[in-house]
Amino acid sequence: MPQFKAPNDATTDIASRPFEQIYKEARIPDSPCTVDELGKLLDNPTVAAQPLNIKVVAVSLTLSAKGIGPDVPIADAVRRDRALDAYQEMLDQRAATAEQRNAAMIQQITQETEEFLKRKQAETPLTPEQKTEVAQLNELIAQAIKSCRKGNTVQGKKNPAFAHLAQLVSTREKLLKGKAPSKKSAQDLVDEMDKLLGITPEKAN
């Protein structure tokens, strides 16, 4: 069975790679008559409209003209099928590895954030307003972590939840240190997170 190696860049979208490129990477040898050629023959409107026995004759004549038997396109079909199976196995392994890596990163961030929060709360009392903003940020961080679990890419694009998670954690740390995080309030970040997750005011209600 062919072997495929996943790219080092985990954000590269390889799930939508064309079949022909997969076959090329699998080094499938040229065939006098591929299964795709027979497929195009049968899809031809002139042949497609004929009864089954006529289609069988058309395929037989094509193979005879090439001086080969039906075993040739069958072997080609088997090789292509095995290549696609091997490629899918590589995709599954890559997804599992990315999921494990993301889970470990999320667990580390969560643990570090909780420890930092406990230390800062013990060191510096927060005002009621700060406590409200921290609570909002905690909720947003939980939502961002949930979105991160979808993987590095979403619909072929880089998952923005990771960058948003880093921004939320940084904002909360600055707030706990008594610094002004940025011009964005916690509510601004709430609105951004809702947009990221596709939540509209109607849906939220």
Residue 69 lies in a domain: no
Q: What is the pLDDT of residue 170?
A: 79
Tens-digit pLDDT profile for residues 74-110:
999 999 999 999 999 999 998 888 888 888 888 888 8
Residue 12 lies in a domain: no
- For the cut 80, the answer to whether the pLDDT of residue 19 exceeds it is yes
Residue 162 lies in a domain: yes
Distance CA 122, CA 152 (A): 35
Query: Which tokens belong to 95?
Result: 């997804």
Query: Which tokens belong to 17?
Result: 């790679």
Structural domains in the chain (count): 1
Distance CA 72, CA 49 (A): 26
Residue 75 lies in a domain: no
Residue 139 lies in a domain: yes
Supply the pTM of this predicted model: 0.55
Domain that holds residue 166: 104-204
User: Residue range 58-63: average pLDDT?
Assistant: 94
Q: What is the pLDDT of residue 202?
A: 43
Three-point CA angle 133, 138, 142, nearest 5° = 150
Q: What is the pLDDT of residue 199?
A: 42
Any alpha helices (H) in the chain, and if so which ranges?
Answer: 19-25, 35-43, 45-48, 52-66, 71-123, 128-148, 161-176, 186-197, 201-204
Residue % of the chain over a pLDDT of 90: 36
Distance CA 95, CA 170 (A): 28
For tokens 């939980």, the residue is 142
- Torsions phi, psi for 68 (to 5 deg): -130, 165
Tens-digit pLDDT profile for residues 156-191:
667 777 777 778 877 777 777 766 555 555 556 556
- For the cut 80, the answer to whether the pLDDT of residue 49 exceeds it is yes
CA 71, distance to chain mean position in Å, is 38
Residue 181 lies in a domain: yes
Residue 159 lies in a domain: yes
Q: Long-range contacts of range 141-148, CB-CB < 8 Å, 24 or more positions apart? A: 141/113, 141/165, 141/168, 141/169, 141/172, 143/193, 143/197, 144/168, 144/193, 144/196, 145/106, 145/109, 145/110, 147/196, 147/197, 148/102, 148/105, 148/106
Distance CA 110, CA 79 (A): 46
Burial (CB < 10 A; 0-12, 13-18, 19+), residue 156, is exposed
Residue 59 lies in a domain: no
